[in-house]
Protein backbone atom coordinates (compact mmCIF):
# COMPACT_ATOMS: atom_id res chain seq x y z
CA UNK A 1 0.00 0.00 0.00
CA UNK A 2 1.38 3.45 -0.81
CA UNK A 3 2.83 5.17 2.17
CA UNK A 4 4.45 8.47 2.82
CA UNK A 5 3.64 8.85 6.47
CA UNK A 6 5.99 11.09 8.45
CA UNK A 7 8.43 9.12 10.51
CA UNK A 8 9.25 10.81 13.75
CA UNK A 9 7.07 10.34 16.76
CA UNK A 10 6.34 14.03 16.72
CA UNK A 11 5.29 13.82 13.11
CA UNK A 12 3.14 10.83 13.87
CA UNK A 13 1.19 12.86 16.34
CA UNK A 14 0.89 15.69 13.87
CA UNK A 15 -0.29 13.31 11.20
CA UNK A 16 -2.93 12.04 13.57
CA UNK A 17 -4.43 15.45 14.02
CA UNK A 18 -1.95 17.42 16.13
CA UNK A 19 -2.69 16.06 19.58
CA UNK A 20 -0.54 13.66 21.47
CA UNK A 21 -1.11 9.97 21.85
CA UNK A 22 -2.84 9.44 25.16
CA UNK A 23 -0.85 7.59 27.79
CA UNK A 24 -1.90 4.09 28.73
CA UNK A 25 -3.94 3.70 31.88
CA UNK A 26 -2.09 3.29 35.16
CA UNK A 27 -1.20 -0.28 36.17
CA UNK A 28 -3.95 -0.64 38.72
CA UNK A 29 -6.69 0.40 36.34
CA UNK A 30 -8.62 -2.69 35.23
CA UNK A 31 -8.71 -3.34 31.53
CA UNK A 32 -11.48 -5.92 31.00
CA UNK A 33 -10.62 -6.46 27.36
CA UNK A 34 -7.52 -8.36 28.45
CA UNK A 35 -9.69 -11.32 29.28
CA UNK A 36 -10.79 -11.53 25.67
CA UNK A 37 -7.30 -11.66 24.33
CA UNK A 38 -5.88 -14.62 22.58
CA UNK A 39 -2.28 -15.56 22.31
CA UNK A 40 -0.36 -14.72 19.19
CA UNK A 41 -0.51 -18.29 17.97
CA UNK A 42 -2.63 -19.22 16.19
CA UNK A 43 -5.35 -16.65 16.39
CA UNK A 44 -3.20 -13.65 15.61
CA UNK A 45 -0.75 -15.28 13.27
CA UNK A 46 -2.56 -14.34 10.11
CA UNK A 47 -0.71 -11.15 9.46
CA UNK A 48 2.50 -11.54 11.41
CA UNK A 49 4.62 -13.64 9.13
CA UNK A 50 3.06 -12.22 6.03
CA UNK A 51 4.25 -8.84 7.10
CA UNK A 52 7.65 -10.15 8.03
CA UNK A 53 7.91 -11.52 4.54
CA UNK A 54 7.39 -8.04 3.22
CA UNK A 55 3.86 -8.25 1.96
CA UNK A 56 1.46 -5.41 2.34
CA UNK A 57 -1.38 -7.02 4.15
CA UNK A 58 -3.60 -4.92 6.31
CA UNK A 59 -6.08 -6.37 8.71
CA UNK A 60 -8.57 -3.78 9.80
CA UNK A 61 -9.67 -4.29 13.40
CA UNK A 62 -13.03 -5.94 13.28
CA UNK A 63 -16.03 -3.86 14.18
CA UNK A 64 -14.24 -0.60 13.52
CA UNK A 65 -14.75 1.87 10.74
CA UNK A 66 -12.21 1.68 7.95
CA UNK A 67 -9.29 4.03 8.21
CA UNK A 68 -10.35 6.43 5.55
CA UNK A 69 -7.44 8.83 5.56
CA UNK A 70 -6.04 9.01 2.02
CA UNK A 71 -2.49 7.79 1.63
CA UNK A 72 -0.44 9.68 -0.96
CA UNK A 73 1.58 7.65 -3.42
CA UNK A 74 5.32 7.26 -3.10
CA UNK A 75 7.83 7.21 -5.91
CA UNK A 76 8.08 3.92 -7.84
CA UNK A 77 11.50 3.32 -6.32
CA UNK A 78 10.03 3.50 -2.86
CA UNK A 79 12.56 6.17 -2.08
CA UNK A 80 12.07 8.80 0.55
CA UNK A 81 9.87 11.71 -0.25
CA UNK A 82 11.70 14.90 -1.10
CA UNK A 83 9.48 16.77 1.32
CA UNK A 84 10.53 14.64 4.28
CA UNK A 85 13.50 15.91 6.25
CA UNK A 86 16.39 13.49 6.48
CA UNK A 87 16.52 11.65 9.81
CA UNK A 88 19.18 12.93 12.15
CA UNK A 89 20.93 9.59 11.91
CA UNK A 90 21.65 10.12 8.24
CA UNK A 91 23.16 13.54 8.66
CA UNK A 92 25.23 12.37 11.59
CA UNK A 93 26.41 9.28 9.79
CA UNK A 94 27.41 11.25 6.74
CA UNK A 95 29.55 13.58 8.83
CA UNK A 96 31.29 10.92 10.88
CA UNK A 97 34.80 9.76 10.00
CA UNK A 98 33.86 6.10 9.83
CA UNK A 99 30.12 6.34 9.48
CA UNK A 100 27.83 6.63 6.50
CA UNK A 101 26.23 4.32 3.99
CA UNK A 102 27.95 1.08 3.08
CA UNK A 103 28.56 1.55 -0.65
CA UNK A 104 26.78 -1.17 -2.57
CA UNK A 105 24.60 -0.87 -5.63
CA UNK A 106 22.00 -3.11 -4.03
CA UNK A 107 21.09 -0.52 -1.40
CA UNK A 108 18.60 2.32 -1.82
CA UNK A 109 19.57 5.85 -0.73
CA UNK A 110 19.58 6.11 3.06
CA UNK A 111 19.78 2.34 3.45
CA UNK A 112 22.49 0.29 5.15
CA UNK A 113 24.01 3.12 7.17
CA UNK A 114 26.90 2.72 9.61
CA UNK A 115 26.87 4.65 12.87
CA UNK A 116 30.16 4.53 14.81
CA UNK A 117 30.25 4.03 18.56
CA UNK A 118 30.16 7.10 20.75
CA UNK A 119 31.32 5.27 23.89
CA UNK A 120 34.53 3.30 24.39
CA UNK A 121 34.77 1.09 21.31
CA UNK A 122 33.65 -2.50 21.89
CA UNK A 123 34.70 -3.48 18.35
CA UNK A 124 31.40 -5.19 17.77
CA UNK A 125 28.61 -4.35 15.35
CA UNK A 126 24.88 -4.58 15.96
CA UNK A 127 22.57 -4.69 12.95
CA UNK A 128 19.22 -3.04 13.61
CA UNK A 129 16.53 -3.62 11.02
CA UNK A 130 13.40 -1.48 11.15
CA UNK A 131 10.87 -3.64 9.33
CA UNK A 132 9.01 -2.51 6.21
CA UNK A 133 9.31 0.97 4.68
CA UNK A 134 8.75 2.72 1.38
CA UNK A 135 5.93 1.09 -0.53
CA UNK A 136 5.35 -1.29 2.38
CA UNK A 137 3.91 0.41 5.48
CA UNK A 138 3.43 -2.91 7.24
CA UNK A 139 0.47 -3.12 9.55
CA UNK A 140 -1.74 -0.09 9.97
CA UNK A 141 -2.59 0.24 13.64
CA UNK A 142 -4.89 2.56 15.50
CA UNK A 143 -4.30 4.25 18.84
CA UNK A 144 -6.77 4.75 21.65
CA UNK A 145 -7.09 8.31 20.38
CA UNK A 146 -8.21 6.95 17.02
CA UNK A 147 -5.05 7.86 15.16
CA UNK A 148 -3.76 5.56 12.45
CA UNK A 149 -0.12 4.52 12.82
CA UNK A 150 2.07 2.71 10.33
CA UNK A 151 4.19 -0.18 11.49
CA UNK A 152 7.00 1.03 9.20
CA UNK A 153 7.18 4.37 11.00
CA UNK A 154 7.09 2.80 14.47
CA UNK A 155 9.82 0.29 13.68
CA UNK A 156 12.07 3.09 12.44
CA UNK A 157 11.40 5.20 15.52
CA UNK A 158 12.26 2.23 17.73
CA UNK A 159 15.51 1.58 15.87
CA UNK A 160 16.46 5.25 16.00
CA UNK A 161 15.79 5.22 19.75
CA UNK A 162 17.93 2.13 20.31
CA UNK A 163 20.84 3.15 18.10
CA UNK A 164 22.25 5.99 20.22
CA UNK A 165 21.98 3.85 23.37
CA UNK A 166 23.95 1.03 21.75
CA UNK A 167 26.50 3.46 20.36
CA UNK A 168 26.90 4.99 23.80
CA UNK A 169 27.75 1.53 25.11
CA UNK A 170 30.50 1.28 22.53
CA UNK A 171 28.80 -0.66 19.75
CA UNK A 172 28.96 0.17 16.07
CA UNK A 173 25.39 0.19 14.81
CA UNK A 174 24.30 -0.49 11.27
CA UNK A 175 20.75 0.48 10.35
CA UNK A 176 19.12 -1.26 7.43
CA UNK A 177 17.23 1.94 6.63
CA UNK A 178 17.16 5.46 8.02
CA UNK A 179 14.13 6.84 6.21
CA UNK A 180 10.83 5.76 4.75
CA UNK A 181 12.36 3.69 1.97
CA UNK A 182 13.02 0.19 0.86
CA UNK A 183 16.45 -1.24 1.67
CA UNK A 184 16.96 -2.84 -1.73
CA UNK A 185 16.88 -0.91 -4.97
CA UNK A 186 13.61 -1.66 -6.69
CA UNK A 187 13.55 -2.49 -10.38
CA UNK A 188 11.37 -4.06 -13.01
CA UNK A 189 8.91 -6.53 -11.59
CA UNK A 190 9.53 -5.57 -7.96
CA UNK A 191 6.45 -3.40 -7.52
CA UNK A 192 2.93 -3.72 -8.81
CA UNK A 193 0.42 -0.92 -8.31
CA UNK A 194 2.73 0.60 -5.72
CA UNK A 195 3.13 -2.51 -3.59
CA UNK A 196 5.77 -5.23 -3.46
CA UNK A 197 5.51 -8.24 -5.68
CA UNK A 198 6.88 -11.45 -4.22
CA UNK A 199 10.08 -10.74 -6.14
CA UNK A 200 10.29 -7.22 -4.73
CA UNK A 201 9.68 -8.35 -1.17
CA UNK A 202 12.36 -11.03 -1.51
CA UNK A 203 14.81 -8.52 -2.97
CA UNK A 204 14.22 -6.10 -0.11
CA UNK A 205 14.68 -8.75 2.56
CA UNK A 206 17.74 -10.15 0.81
CA UNK A 207 19.23 -6.65 0.78
CA UNK A 208 18.70 -6.42 4.55
CA UNK A 209 20.58 -9.68 5.06
CA UNK A 210 23.32 -8.50 2.69
CA UNK A 211 23.69 -5.31 4.70
CA UNK A 212 24.05 -7.25 7.94
CA UNK A 213 26.64 -9.51 6.32
CA UNK A 214 28.64 -6.66 4.81
CA UNK A 215 28.62 -4.95 8.19
CA UNK A 216 29.96 -8.14 9.80
CA UNK A 217 27.38 -7.72 12.51
CA UNK A 218 27.67 -9.85 15.63
CA UNK A 219 23.92 -9.73 16.18
CA UNK A 220 20.90 -9.05 13.98
CA UNK A 221 17.79 -7.55 15.52
CA UNK A 222 14.79 -6.93 13.28
CA UNK A 223 12.03 -4.79 14.73
CA UNK A 224 8.38 -5.31 13.81
CA UNK A 225 4.99 -4.72 15.35
CA UNK A 226 2.29 -7.31 15.21
CA UNK A 227 -1.19 -7.41 13.75
CA UNK A 228 -4.16 -9.49 14.75
CA UNK A 229 -7.55 -10.21 13.36
CA UNK A 230 -9.11 -8.74 16.47
CA UNK A 231 -8.26 -5.71 18.64
CA UNK A 232 -8.12 -8.23 21.48
CA UNK A 233 -4.95 -9.84 20.09
CA UNK A 234 -2.09 -8.63 22.24
CA UNK A 235 1.33 -9.43 23.62
CA UNK A 236 4.95 -9.79 22.65
CA UNK A 237 6.54 -12.54 20.58
CA UNK A 238 10.12 -13.01 19.35
CA UNK A 239 11.06 -15.23 16.42
CA UNK A 240 14.31 -16.99 15.53
CA UNK A 241 15.34 -19.64 13.01
CA UNK A 242 16.15 -23.07 14.43
CA UNK A 243 18.06 -24.71 11.57
CA UNK A 244 21.07 -22.45 11.24
CA UNK A 245 24.55 -23.46 12.48
CA UNK A 246 24.23 -20.65 15.05
CA UNK A 247 20.64 -21.34 16.02
CA UNK A 248 21.48 -21.96 19.67
CA UNK A 249 22.91 -18.47 19.86
CA UNK A 250 19.93 -17.05 17.96
CA UNK A 251 17.63 -18.67 20.51
CA UNK A 252 19.66 -17.12 23.31
CA UNK A 253 19.44 -13.70 21.64
CA UNK A 254 15.70 -14.13 21.05
CA UNK A 255 15.12 -15.20 24.65
CA UNK A 256 17.08 -12.24 25.99
CA UNK A 257 15.15 -9.85 23.77
CA UNK A 258 11.82 -11.33 24.82
CA UNK A 259 12.72 -11.16 28.50
CA UNK A 260 14.32 -7.73 28.54
CA UNK A 261 11.82 -5.90 26.33
CA UNK A 262 8.89 -7.34 28.30
CA UNK A 263 10.58 -6.47 31.60
CA UNK A 264 11.22 -2.95 30.39
CA UNK A 265 7.64 -2.43 29.23
CA UNK A 266 5.98 -4.16 32.14
CA UNK A 267 8.23 -2.36 34.61
CA UNK A 268 6.16 0.63 33.59
CA UNK A 269 3.00 -1.24 34.53
CA UNK A 270 1.62 -1.92 31.09
CA UNK A 271 0.86 -5.61 31.58
CA UNK A 272 1.92 -6.77 28.12
CA UNK A 273 1.30 -10.54 27.75
CA UNK A 274 4.26 -12.84 27.09
CA UNK A 275 3.51 -14.89 23.98
CA UNK A 276 6.94 -16.44 23.97
CA UNK A 277 9.83 -17.19 21.63
CA UNK A 278 8.96 -19.14 18.48
CA UNK A 279 10.86 -20.50 15.56
CA UNK A 280 10.17 -19.06 12.15
CA UNK A 281 8.77 -22.27 10.71
CA UNK A 282 6.16 -22.76 13.42
CA UNK A 283 5.10 -19.14 13.53
CA UNK A 284 2.53 -19.74 10.84
CA UNK A 285 1.08 -17.01 8.71
CA UNK A 286 0.23 -16.48 5.09
CA UNK A 287 2.99 -16.56 2.50
CA UNK A 288 3.15 -13.82 -0.06
CA UNK A 289 3.63 -16.18 -2.98
CA UNK A 290 4.24 -19.83 -3.77
CA UNK A 291 8.02 -19.52 -3.50
CA UNK A 292 7.75 -17.93 -0.08
CA UNK A 293 5.32 -20.63 1.00
CA UNK A 294 7.70 -23.33 -0.19
CA UNK A 295 10.59 -21.72 1.67
CA UNK A 296 8.53 -21.65 4.84
CA UNK A 297 10.87 -19.52 6.95
CA UNK A 298 11.73 -15.88 7.41
CA UNK A 299 14.09 -14.75 4.67
CA UNK A 300 16.01 -12.50 7.04
CA UNK A 301 16.77 -15.33 9.47
CA UNK A 302 16.52 -18.55 7.51
CA UNK A 303 18.97 -20.74 5.62
CA UNK A 304 19.96 -20.65 1.97
CA UNK A 305 17.54 -22.34 -0.42
CA UNK A 306 18.48 -23.19 -3.97
CA UNK A 307 16.72 -20.99 -6.47
CA UNK A 308 15.24 -18.78 -3.77
CA UNK A 309 17.77 -17.49 -1.26
CA UNK A 310 21.47 -17.61 -2.12
CA UNK A 311 22.92 -15.31 0.56
CA UNK A 312 21.25 -15.74 3.95
CA UNK A 313 22.20 -13.76 7.03
CA UNK A 314 25.38 -15.06 8.62
CA UNK A 315 24.98 -14.17 12.28
CA UNK A 316 22.65 -14.90 15.21
CA UNK A 317 19.43 -13.03 14.70
CA UNK A 318 15.91 -12.52 15.95
CA UNK A 319 12.74 -10.67 14.97
CA UNK A 320 10.97 -8.89 17.80
CA UNK A 321 7.28 -8.03 17.76
CA UNK A 322 6.86 -6.21 21.07
CA UNK A 323 3.24 -5.12 20.66
CA UNK A 324 0.10 -5.59 18.59
CA UNK A 325 -0.67 -2.27 17.00
CA UNK A 326 -4.12 -3.53 16.04
CA UNK A 327 -4.83 -3.34 19.79
CA UNK A 328 -5.42 0.37 20.49
CA UNK A 329 -3.91 0.08 23.97
CA UNK A 330 -0.70 -1.46 22.68
CA UNK A 331 -0.65 0.84 19.63
CA UNK A 332 -0.74 3.83 21.95
CA UNK A 333 2.31 2.49 23.76
CA UNK A 334 4.10 1.79 20.48
CA UNK A 335 3.38 5.29 19.23
CA UNK A 336 4.40 7.08 22.41
CA UNK A 337 7.84 8.26 23.43
CA UNK A 338 7.74 6.30 26.69
CA UNK A 339 6.92 3.09 24.86
CA UNK A 340 9.59 3.62 22.26
CA UNK A 341 12.19 4.30 24.94
CA UNK A 342 11.11 1.29 26.96
CA UNK A 343 11.42 -1.04 23.98
CA UNK A 344 14.73 0.51 22.93
CA UNK A 345 16.11 0.07 26.44
CA UNK A 346 15.05 -3.58 26.43
CA UNK A 347 16.75 -4.17 23.09
CA UNK A 348 19.96 -2.60 24.36
CA UNK A 349 20.01 -4.62 27.58
CA UNK A 350 19.42 -7.84 25.68
CA UNK A 351 22.03 -7.16 23.02
CA UNK A 352 24.60 -6.01 25.55
CA UNK A 353 24.10 -9.15 27.61
CA UNK A 354 24.23 -11.30 24.49
CA UNK A 355 27.50 -9.76 23.31
CA UNK A 356 29.31 -9.91 26.63
CA UNK A 357 32.50 -11.94 26.18
CA UNK A 358 31.53 -14.96 28.26
CA UNK A 359 32.20 -18.62 27.46
CA UNK A 360 28.52 -19.19 26.63
CA UNK A 361 28.76 -16.55 23.94
CA UNK A 362 31.79 -18.02 22.21
CA UNK A 363 31.15 -18.61 18.50
- Which residues of the chain form contacts with Zn ion (CB under 5 A)? 51, 131, 138, 224
Please answer whether residues 197 and 190 qualify as being in contact, where contact means their C-beta atoms are separated by less than 8 angstroms.
Answer: yes
What is the closest distance, in whole angstroms, from the C-beta atom of residue 269 to Zn ion in the complex? 26
Of 117 and 130, the one with the shorter C-beta distance to Zn ion is: 130
What is the closest distance, in whole angstroms, from the C-beta atom of residue 290 to Zn ion in the complex? 21
Of 122 and 177, the one with the shorter C-beta distance to Zn ion is: 177
What is the closest distance, in whole angstroms, from the C-beta atom of residue 92 to Zn ion in the complex? 26
Find out whether the peptide bond into 42 is cis, omega within 30 degrees of 0: yes
Of 134 and 138, the one with the shorter C-beta distance to Zn ion is: 138
Of 147 and 224, the one with the shorter C-beta distance to Zn ion is: 224
What is the closest distance, in whole angstroms, from the C-beta atom of residue 326 to Zn ion in the complex? 12
What is the closest distance, in whole angstroms, from the C-beta atom of residue 64 to Zn ion in the complex? 20
Of 131 and 312, the one with the shorter C-beta distance to Zn ion is: 131
Of 138 and 194, the one with the shorter C-beta distance to Zn ion is: 138
As a whole number of Å, the CA-based R_g of the chain is 19
Helices 328-335 and 337-354 pack at an angle, to 10 degrees, of: 80
What is the closest distance, in whole angstroms, from the C-beta atom of residue 94 to Zn ion in the complex? 28
Q: Would you give the distance in Å from CA 232 to the centre of its chain?
A: 21
Amino acid sequence: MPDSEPLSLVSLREAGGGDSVPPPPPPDEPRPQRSLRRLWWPGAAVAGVTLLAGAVFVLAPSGRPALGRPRPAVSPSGGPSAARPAPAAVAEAASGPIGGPIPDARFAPGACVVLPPTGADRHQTVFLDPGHGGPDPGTIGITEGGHAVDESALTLSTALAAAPLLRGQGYRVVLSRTGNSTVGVMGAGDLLSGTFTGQGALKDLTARAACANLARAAALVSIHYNAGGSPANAGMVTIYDDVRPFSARSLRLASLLQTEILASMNGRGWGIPDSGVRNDASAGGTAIDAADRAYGRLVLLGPAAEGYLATPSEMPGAVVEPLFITDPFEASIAAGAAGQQAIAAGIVRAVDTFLQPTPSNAP
